[in-house]
Amino acid sequence: MAPVTRSQTKHLRLPEKEHAIQQEMAGFITRGLNNFERVVGVEYKLAVALVLFKYIESKKTQLHLLGNRFCKVVSLKMDELISKDDANVTPEFVADMRSFKRKLRGFLEFP
């Protein structure tokens, strides 16, 4: 039998309400990142990224529930979305994304 890891028992350590919030956030963010990868067309990708960033900002006080590793992946993915070298990405869009990232800096990084 395989050993049980800490991540597999996280739901046992979180209160039920926080566990539900964690699952909802993780699912929404994961679907958003997957949708970003799947959609074709720059306008659609930008729309998905904007919705995703707004959602993450709206949940910023609860991001700690996702854990350090998940937040690090989200942070790295946000950096990747911001630094896309696409001619169709407007400077205003990049500025908006950097603003979201700046607002979330303290919430995505843990000691």
Secondary structure (H, E, C), the chain:
CCCCCCHHHHHHHCCHHHHHHHHHHHHHHHHHHHHHHHCCCHHHHHHHHHHHHHHHHHCHHHHHHHCHHHHHHHHHHHHHHHCCCCCCCCHHHHHHHHHHHHHHHHHHCCC
Share of the chain above pLDDT 90, in %: 8
- pLDDT grade for 24, boundaries at 50, 70 and 90: very high
Arithmetic mean of pLDDT, 28-49:
87
Establish if 55 belongs to a structural domain.
Answer: yes
Highest mean pLDDT among 24-33, 68-77, 95-104: 24-33
Domain count within the chain: 1
For 42-80, the pLDDT digits (tens) are: 788 888 888 988 998 898 888 888 888 888 888 888 787
Mean of pLDDT values over 83-108: 77
Write down the pTM of the prediction. Answer: 0.74
Does 4 fall in a domain?
no
Give the residue numbers spanning the domain of 92.
14-108
Place of tokens 């956030």: 25
Ramachandran category for residue 15: left, alpha or beta (phi over 0 → left; psi -120 to 50 → alpha):
beta
Residue 3 lies in a domain: no
